[in-house]
Amino acid sequence: MANQPMRAEKNASDQRVQRTYRELKNAFEALLCQTEYEDMTVLQLCQAAGIRRTTFYQHFQDKQDFLNWFIREKQNEFFSVTQKNVSSGDVGDQFVLLAKSMLNYLQRNEQLVKSMINAQLNGQRLFEIYLETCVKEMTDRLKNVPELVERAGGTPISFLSEFYVGGMIAALRWWVIHDKPCAEEELLKYIRLRVERKK
């Protein structure tokens, strides 16, 4: 099994493979609303997806291997959403645009996000996905924002991206966990104020 899985890269156009992956992803998201990841079994996942265990093991080595694939899928999905919202503007505009993208994504996947937060899935790995994706994207974008480059004063832009984006993700996590204690517009205003370092 060490040589598995080949994944569907070479069979990307195979509709059966795509359907299998889609059914597994949907089943996994549904199961997370009912049970914690640590207690979930491959058999449960296969039964919920309507596939055989042998089919599962043709694509994944084990449950952890499947989770890694699932995380990458969510990462790609998130990246495709935020990528559509690239614009020029000052550093406040850049972060508000990213925050809006993230809020939109969170709201479209709200039940899944809450399930993963509540289950403490692998140390909240879903938020680690957001952080990794956002930092990479924002680092590339912020290199072209003169305001931040000037403000950096020798501090690496990658460090500033990690610092600001990490703080913003923590704020969004707080917003979700506490059942949206303020309006979305107000949250975005707070984020802009902190990034721009205004009172």
What is the spatial distance between Cα 151 and Cα 128, in angstroms, rounded to a whole number?
A: 27
Q: Is 135 helix (H, G, I), strand (E, B) or coil?
A: helix
Please give the pLDDT value at position 121: 55
Please give the pLDDT value at position 10: 45
**Cβ neighbourhood burial of 43 (10 Å; 0-12, 13-18, 19+):** exposed
Q: What is the pTM of this model?
A: 0.69
For the chain, 199 residues long, give each residue's pLDDT as a single digit of tens.
444 555 544 455 588 889 999 999 999 989 988 887 888 899 999 999 999 999 999 999 999 899 888 878 877 777 676 665 555 567 778 788 888 888 887 777 777 777 666 555 555 566 666 667 677 777 777 777 777 777 777 888 888 878 888 888 888 888 887 888 999 999 999 988 888 776 5
Please give the pLDDT value at position 25: 93
Q: CB under 8 Å to 111, separation ≥6 — which residues?
A: 33
Distances (CA, A) of 169 to 6, 11, 116, 160: 34, 35, 15, 14
What is the spatial distance between Cα 56 and Cα 108, in angstroms, rounded to a whole number?
A: 27
What is the spatial distance between Cα 160 and Cα 191, in angstroms, rounded to a whole number?
A: 15
Q: What is the dihedral sign for C-alpha 47, 50, 53, 59? A: negative
Please give the pLDDT value at position 27: 95
Q: Quote the crossing angle between the two packed helices 91-108 and 110-119, to the nearest 10°.
A: 90
Please give the pLDDT value at position 11: 53
Please give the pLDDT value at position 2: 44
What b/e sequence results for 158-194 when a residue is b if at least 16 CB atoms lie within 10 Å of its CB, and e otherwise? eebbbebbeebbeebbebbeeeeeeeeeebbeebbee
Is residue 122 a contact partner of residue 107, using CB atoms and an 8 Å limit? no
